[in-house]
Amino acid sequence: MSGLIYACIWAFFNVIGRVLFRYRAHGAQHIPKQGGVLFAANHASYVDIPFLGCGIPRRVAFLGRANLFSPRLLNWMFRKIAWIPLKTNRLDRQALKDTVARLKAGKSVVIFPEGTRTPHGALQSGKPGIGVILAEVQCPVVPAYIAGTYDVLPIGSARLGLKPIAIYFGEPMTFPYEEGQDKKDYYHSVSAAVMNRIAELGHVSAPTTNR
């Protein structure tokens, strides 16, 4: 049942995106068809979640703030469909465990390395959490840049702007972790490398989304 609901949501936002926001996804050929994959994207708006999901031709779960869906029924429903709740005030070992388990089972997970939405539209520094995950499971990371969503629904706005939205996927990245390597250095180097690649994809997207 959750798979059917996910498919319906995916189809709904694809239609809405193409009709209202000229939605396009680029680089989907870079997405591995099988095996655990961690998607890492910038985060500018609540609408990042459905439109990023629409661009991924696989079912994915989103690692997101635990209190994002406060009504208990919504909380339960989205956990069943595509959401891994994350407590953001500390290292959430349960969320880490759930994420690693999904990736080891050959599933896909989305993480926003910045940890929260940007208040000004520009990229923020990445948090070390993505490195913590990859130290536990050596899966490919597919970087993605989401263009246009800040103009559609920035922080504090209650109205949607009908601006173009596009997703740009990059080639998979790998980050081998060697036994004995300093973990903190590894966490931060992974985060920085992924954010740099997301920024590069953002530069590629600029001529298209600013037309």
Residue-wise pLDDT for 147-167, tens only, equals 999 999 999 998 999 999 999
Cβ(41)–Cβ(52) under 8 Å? yes
Can you tell me the distance from the alpha carbon of 38 to that of 205, in angstroms, rounded to the nearest whole number? 21
Render pLDDT for 122-146 as a digit per residue (tens, 0 to 9). Answer: 999 999 999 999 999 999 999 999 9
List the alpha helices (DSSP H) in the chain: 2-20, 48-55, 72-81, 93-104, 129-136, 149-152, 183-209
Least confident of 28-37, 58-67, 146-155, 160-169: 58-67
For the question of whether the overall pTM of this predicted structure is more than 0.85, the answer is yes
CA angle 175–177–178, rounded 5-degree value = 145
Partners of 85 in the β-ladder: 64
AA identity, residue 148? G
User: Residues 192, 170, 138, 118: is their CA dihedral positive or negative?
Assistant: positive
User: Residues 178, 183, 188, 194: is their CA dihedral positive or negative?
Assistant: positive
Provide CATH code, domain 2-209. 3.40.1130.10
Q: With 0-12 CB in 10 A as exposed, 13-18 as middle and 19+ as buried, what is 132?
A: buried
